[in-house]
């Protein structure tokens, strides 16, 4: 009986052990099956499409900027230096070529350390596991995630060769500072292509996946060097390099590439384009779609614009210091903006929105609204020409009181010079930028009519329909002024300025192409006549400094009260350009800092390059317009040999008659 009882107990125990083992195995199998069901599907790595870089190009094919959430630029394995491949394997996964995706010894060692520490302190992930985590899993540490990572790694190893896995890893892993993949890392950290990296640079990059932000040379150069030297030591110990190479690479300096990385070409223009792209394609496609964006910018003219602006501001600052005018800080320092556009096409060819984009990214060429001063006067005179006024029409320059001036108050406007010339021609009043004749002219035309005409020329800002509009009291952007002047140069046709030519996707398929917005807003004859009057500003008036340039050129100075704003807007037969100089806080630039003294030299230096780059052309001369030599003071016809005469354009039938006859 006792033996039988022992026998029954033995089999009972075996039964329960087997049952328990089966139950445990079933649970583990079920759990494993559930994990397998929950694993992401491994699709072909060759078809994997991570977010790509959008690149912005100038019209002359210069790379201006790149937009991305994850900077990736894949390269084939045979273009990645052997030292970089070996350094990564020696540091991250020495048994890479021996395991099948999972290193069991490393896992057991890591489990023991994790248990002893009471938390996850060691990952024990192979390169394949790291790739699986990067592509398919979240970075959050957990036991379930580690199991999934291992299972996915095994699947990857069964489907792909070691070389394919290594190539994909090197192109996908994060190296810090926005760099995904070795090519992006090489560009960001060393401003090189990956093929050009030397041994020390390969070791530095190979050491970064462990803690990308911590070991970035842009964050902490000392930590990066220490980590690099540790990688070099591993390469030496595994016979990848010899002692001489090891010692020499350890001494290599890490150059600071931070400034180069953050330097963006034509930054104000690029920022302007970015805002346009966000409207056209949306932020997702912009930052992830790998677009190719071709812009209107001439990089050569852009560099000339930046140089001209820098030199002009340097000269102004020197004068301010000599005059002992105090200013401190970026907001109180003088600022400037320049914008240029192709007259016939509407393409923006150069844009500088301020002195230093890194210091202040506010784009004064596009977004700043400032009073244009006398730079608005050509719009008044152009409206007069369109309404049949000849440029020899006489206007009274004398003291005047308006009982119902701006804001309904009595107004006693004055000339900048403080004196008066009596009756003068409309041409002379514009050429010398005299205030009183302009005010009398806008009174006769009607301020509301002039405001409407300004809007027809492309000005979107509000224009106050009162007499002060003659003195440029309404605030406008530089872009609005330049585009309005371009109508005069372009035979009366308004073209909306634009900066993007076309957008294509990563495969080269055209997604968007510009459709220029054109509309005739004034007569061809009227445009030619006002252009001729603005030529007079340069040949005879406040823009005389520009006579050093090759004619034909036309333009107008602008200066506001207390010398707060200085402007020059002008054009050649092919290019319109405007310059504004002022203080962001609306304080004075200093006594005598007029448009002629402050803005015009910048314009001249820029237009020198424009003329060097473009063929010679004359301004348009329509068939219904005649050229006559006149006395600009009296408006009477002058002999062709007269040294005091100027060539002026007239609509046929309105030109001066024989000497002694005055045009009404």
Average pLDDT of the segment spanning 494-513: 96
Q: Which domain holds residue 414?
A: 372-473
Closest to 135 (Cα-Cα) out of 207, 39, 216: 39
Mean pLDDT of all residues belonging to the chain: 86
User: Which of residues 194, 227, 262 is at a domain's end?
Assistant: 262
Name the pLDDT band for 128 (thresholds 50, 70, 90): confident
The residue annotated as part of the active site, out of 86, 92, 216, 474, is 92
Determine the pLDDT at residue 31. 42
Q: Are 240 and 86 in contact (CB under 8 A)?
A: yes
Contact in structure between 305 and 340 (CB atoms under 8 Å) = yes
pLDDT for residue 111 is more than 90: no
Rg (CA), the chain: 37
Q: What is the pLDDT of residue 133?
A: 74
C-alpha span between 461 and 451 (Å, rounded) = 10
DSSP string, 336-399: EEEEEEETTT-BEEEEE-SS-TTT----TTTT--B--GGGGHHHHHHHHHHTT--TT-EEEES-
Q: What is the mean pLDDT of residues 556-577?
A: 97
pLDDT in tens, 333-389: 899 999 999 999 999 999 999 999 989 999 999 999 999 999 999 999 999 999 999
Q: How far apart are CA 235 and CA 417, in angstroms?
A: 79
Number of structural domains found in the chain = 3
Helix (H), strand (E) at residue 265: none
| Position 17 pLDDT exceeds 60 | no
- Of 450, 473, 496, which closes a domain? 473
Q: Are residues 245 and 112 in the same domain?
A: yes
Question: Can you give the pLDDT at residue 577?
Answer: 98
Confidence of residue 14 (pLDDT cuts 50, 70, 90): low
Active site residue 493: no
Q: What is the share, in percent, of the chain residues with pLDDT greater than 70?
A: 83
Residue ranges in 207-257 assigned as alpha helix (H): 212-215, 221-237, 243-250
Q: Identify the pLDDT of residue 122.
A: 44
Asked if residue 252 belongs to a domain, the reply is yes
Query: Taking a C-beta distance cutoff of 8 angstroms, is the pair 135, 153 a contact?
Result: no
CB within 8 A of 316, min separation 6: which ones?
334, 581, 589, 593, 598
Q: Positive or negative, the Cα torsion across 25, 29, 30, 34? A: positive
Helices 143-159 & 127-136, crossing angle to 10 degrees?
110
* pLDDT for res 38: 45
234 in the same domain as 96: yes
Flag whether 88 is in a domain: yes
* Structure tokens given for 417: 């010079």
Whether residue 257 is found in the same domain as residue 378? no
Are the C-beta atoms of residues 614 and 575 closer than 8 Å to each other? yes
Task: For residue 423, indicate whether it is catalytic.
Answer: no
Whether 243 and 118 map to the same domain: the answer is yes
Beta bridge partners, 502, equal 294, 513
Over 70: is that where the pLDDT of 462 sits? yes
Euclidean distance between CA atoms 88 and 209, whole angstroms: 9
Among 424, 449, 473, the domain-final residue is: 473
pLDDT digits (tens, 9 = 90+) for 568-590: 999 999 999 999 999 999 999 99
Domain assignment of residue 628, yes or no: yes
Task: Identify whether residues 253 and 384 lie together within a single domain.
Answer: no
- For the segment 264-274, the average pLDDT, to the nearest whole number, is 94
Q: Which of 58, 374, 468, 473 is catalytic?
A: 374
Helical spans, DSSP H, in 137-220? 143-159, 162-172, 182-190, 199-206, 212-215
Please give the structure tokens belonging to residue 474: 């309404």
Distance, in Å, from the CA atom of 538 to the CA atom of 284, rounded to the nearest integer, reads 49
Residue 542 domain-assigned (yes or no): no
- The answer to whether position 289 is within a domain reads no
Of 202, 210, 204, give the one whose Cα is nearest residue 174. 210
pLDDT per position as a tens digit, 33-92: 444 444 455 555 555 666 678 999 999 999 999 888 777 788 999 999 999 999 999 988
With respect to residue 50, please indicate whether it lies within any of the assigned structural domains.
no
Q: What tens digit of pLDDT does each residue of 203-232 get?
A: 999 999 888 888 989 888 999 999 999 999
Q: How far apart are CA 386 and CA 450, in angstroms?
A: 11
pLDDT confidence band for 141 (50 / 70 / 90): low
Helix axes 524-540, 478-489, angle to 10 degrees: 110
The pLDDT > 90 percentage for the chain reads: 65
With vertex at residue 163, the alpha carbon angle to CA 162 and CA 166, rounded to the nearest 5 degrees, is 85
For residue 463, give the CATH number of its domain: 3.40.710.10
* Span of 2-16, 260-274, 546-560, 623-637 with lowest mean pLDDT: 2-16
Which one is predicted more confidently, 130 or 26?
130
Global confidence as pTM: 0.78
User: Residue 156: inside a domain, yes or no?
Assistant: yes
- 258 shares a domain with 378: no
* pLDDT over 70 at 103, yes or no: no
Strand 500-504 vs strand 510-513: parallel, antiparallel, or unpaired?
antiparallel
Does residue 230 lie in a domain region? yes
pLDDT for 36 equals 44
Packed helices 143-159 and 2-38: angle between N→C axes, nearest 10 degrees: 70
Residues 85 and 204 in one domain: yes
């Amino acid at each position: 009986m006792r033996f039988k009882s022992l026998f029954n107990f033995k089999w009972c125990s075996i039964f329960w052990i087997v049952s328990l083992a089966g139950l445990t195995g079933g649970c583990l199998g079920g759990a494993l099956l559930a994990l397998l069901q929950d694993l992401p599907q491994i699709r072909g790595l060759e078809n994997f499409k991570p977010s790509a870089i959008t690149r912005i190009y100038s019209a002359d094919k210069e790379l201006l900027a790149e937009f991305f959430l994850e900077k990736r630029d894949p390269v084939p394995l045979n273009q990645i230096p052997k030292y970089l491949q070996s350094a990564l394997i020696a540091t991250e996964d020495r048994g890479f070529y021996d395991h099948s995706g999972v290193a069991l010894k490393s896992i057991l060692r890591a489990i023991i350390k994790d248990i002893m520490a009471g938390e996850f302190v060691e990952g024990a992930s192979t390169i394949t596991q790291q790739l699986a985590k990067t592509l398919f899993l979240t970075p959050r540490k957990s036991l379930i995630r580690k199991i999934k990572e291992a299972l996915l790694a095994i699947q990857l190893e069964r489907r792909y060769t070691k070389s394919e896995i290594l190539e994909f890893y090197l192109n996908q892993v994060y190296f810090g500072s926005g760099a995904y993949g070795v090519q992006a890392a090489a560009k960001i950290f060393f401003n090189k292509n990956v093929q050009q990296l030397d041994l020390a640079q390969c070791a530095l990059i190979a050491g970064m996946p462990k803690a990308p932000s911590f070991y970035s040379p842009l964050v902490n150069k000392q930590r990066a060097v220490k980590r690099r030297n540790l990688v070099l030591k591993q390469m030496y110990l595994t016979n990848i390099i010899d002692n001489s190479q090891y010692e020499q690479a350890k001494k290599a300096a890490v150059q600071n590439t931070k400034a180069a990385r953050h330097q963006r070409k034509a930054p104000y223009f690029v920022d302007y384009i970015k805002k346009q792209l966000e409207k056209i394609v949306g932020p997702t496609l912009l930052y992830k779609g790998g677009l190719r964006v071709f812009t209107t910018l001439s990089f050569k003219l852009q560099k000339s614009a930046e140089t001209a602006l820098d030199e002009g501001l340097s000269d102004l600052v020197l004068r301010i210091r000599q005059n002992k005018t105090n200013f401190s800080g970026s907001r109180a320092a003088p600022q400037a903006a320049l914008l240029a556009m192709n007259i016939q096409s509407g393409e923006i060819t150069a844009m500088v929105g301020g002195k230093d984009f890194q210091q202040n990214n506010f784009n004064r060429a596009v977004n700043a609204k400032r009073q244009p001063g006398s730079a608005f006067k050509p719009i008044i005179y152009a409206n007069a020409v369109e309404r049949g006024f000849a440029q020899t029409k006489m206007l009274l320059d004398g003291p005047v009181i308006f009982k119902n001036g701006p804001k309904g108050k009595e107004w006693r406007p004055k000339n900048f010079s403080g004196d008066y010339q009596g009756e003068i021609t409309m041409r002379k009043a514009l050429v010398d930028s005299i205030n009183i004749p302009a005010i009398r002219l806008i009174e006769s035309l009607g301020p509301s009519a002039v405001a409407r005409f300004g809007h027809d020329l492309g000005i979107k800002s509000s224009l106050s329909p009162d007499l002060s509009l003659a003195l440029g009291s309404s605030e406008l952007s530089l872009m609005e002024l330049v585009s309005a002047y371009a109508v005069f140069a372009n035979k009366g046709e308004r073209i909306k300025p634009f900066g993007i030519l076309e957008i294509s996707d990563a495969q080269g398929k055209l997604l968007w192409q510009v459709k220029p917005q054109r509309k005739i807003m004034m007569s061809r004859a009227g445009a030619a006549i006002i252009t001729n009057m603005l030529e007079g500003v340069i040949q005879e008036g406040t823009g005389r400094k520009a006579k050093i340039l090759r004619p034909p050129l036309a333009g107008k100075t602008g200066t506001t009260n207390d010398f707060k704003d200085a402007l020059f807007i002008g054009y050649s037969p092919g290019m319109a350009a405007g310059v504004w100089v002022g203080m962001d806080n609306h304080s004075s630039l200093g006594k005598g800092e007029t448009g002629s003294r402050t803005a015009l030299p910048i314009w001249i230096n820029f237009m020198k390059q424009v003329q060097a780059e473009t063929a010679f052309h004359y301004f348009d001369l329509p068939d219904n317009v005649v050229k006559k030599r006149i006395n600009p003071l009296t408006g009477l016809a002058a002999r062709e040999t007269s040294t005091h005469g100027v060539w002026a354009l007239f609509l046929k039938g309105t030109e001066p008659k024989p000497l002694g006859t005055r045009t009404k």
